[in-house]
Amino acid sequence: MTAARQRFDSLTGLRFLLAVWIAYFHVGHMYDHDGFGALPYLELGVARVDVFFVLSGFVLTHIYWSNRQRPFAFGEFMVARIARIYPLYLLSLGMILGYLVLGALIGREGVFDGYTPAGLVANLTMTQSVGFPGVTSWNFPAWAISAEFAGYLLFPFFIWVATRMSKYRVLFFGLCILNVFVVDQLHGYFLGRELSSSTIAWGALRGAVVMLAGVGARVAFEDFNVSSFRAGIYAVLGAVCALLAAVNHIGTVFVALGGSLMIMGLARIDAHGKSTTLSRPSMCVLGNWSYAIFILHVPIYIIMKNGLDILGIGLEVNALTSLAFTLVVVAVSWPVHRLIEEPCRKVIRNGFEGRRRQKVAPQDASAPSA
């Protein structure tokens, strides 16, 4: 089986675990920030974003690495990325706009506070992670999609560098991890804060450099020929490294390194044809809903919380209510994925393919017959 055909089902399951983790974390973060939301184990949700960047870099490189000798089709790549993320991204903003309009119609005071037109434009253009003011209220977790989009724009360069370092794969991975460390140190020196704290301001930089670590991890994966047992040990140690680094705030580099080792370990187990808890069919199905869970959970929470307020029901944030909110998001994500995300992705990609064929067709028609 070639590398291009390998399926890393454990990584699909991992996506679901990470998406649910951040969704659960945000209930307390939004509605009981200094109480339930301040519990240390919930703050581990911070690690989820950087591990997600690593995972994206790893998976994208896995898809394109086998064709690295061909010219990079940037237009086709970006259409695929936009088809993947933008339909539900727009849906999330539409849900918030609907909530605002409905709130105004029923006379709720201050419903538009913090929701600026400039912030909406920044969100629509996925530029809210470069420091524009007034963008936080508009589905604030979407900064991570904006940051990842910066990584998409640089991805051809990442592949170009990786190809030229293909004879020194482990060294390239080490340099990618070192790059995270250097950027983190410079970020702290000039801005006075850790790279892991950058979301709206300089989040794009964070997304790009950590995604590059994922690119390096996939390149080094070519030489990561270990047994399933040892791969499992690497995966566990990597997860522990990322979690400890996040909860103790000891640097994004350790989250990126730990996340890389965890992902490489899980992928190697899959490559051996072994199963993990994350690679089970049910987890793969749930993993396909992960983007819907991530991008829609805040709008759903806002609607649910305000609905409870209208009914006069107070929200006591605790482990059970956070779980209930998260389960609602998971339940909503299933039909959204099936009825909106998948069809829209196919329409966009098929439309692009159709236009490309139309451009090629006249050239074919004018060619002399054999």
Going by C-alpha positions, the residue among 286, 263, 258 that lies closest to residue 47 is 258
Asked if the structure places residue 356 within a domain, the reply is: no
Q: Which residues of the chain have pLDDT under 70?
A: 1-5, 41-47, 359-370
CA gap 266, 130 in Å, rounded: 33
Cβ neighbours for 292, distance < 8 A, ≥ 6 positions apart: 88, 332, 333, 336, 337, 341
Q: In whole numbers, what is the pLDDT of the chain averaged over residues? A: 90
Asked if the structure places residue 35 within a domain, the reply is: yes
What's residue 361's pLDDT?
A: 58
What's residue 93's pLDDT?
A: 95
What's residue 45's pLDDT?
A: 53
Asked if the structure places residue 30 within a domain, the reply is: yes
What's residue 148's pLDDT?
A: 96
Give the structural domain span for 86: 3-158+167-350
Asked if the structure places residue 62 within a domain, the reply is: yes
pLDDT in tens, 114-173: 888 888 999 999 999 987 777 777 899 999 999 999 999 999 999 999 999 999 999 999
Does this model's pTM top 0.75? My answer is yes
What's residue 368's pLDDT?
A: 38
Please identify which residue in the block is written with the tokens 């974003």.
49
% pLDDT > 70, the chain: 93
Asked if the structure places residue 315 within a domain, the reply is: yes
Asked if the structure places residue 205 within a domain, the reply is: yes
Q: What is the dihedral of CA 31, 33, 37, 39, to 10 degrees?
A: -160
Asked if the structure places residue 360 within a domain, the reply is: no
What's residue 35's pLDDT?
A: 84
Going by C-alpha positions, the residue among 62, 76, 63, 69 that lies closest to residue 163 is 69
Task: State how many domains the chain has.
Answer: 1
Asked if the structure places residue 50 within a domain, the reply is: yes
pLDDT in tens, 51-68: 999 999 999 999 988 888
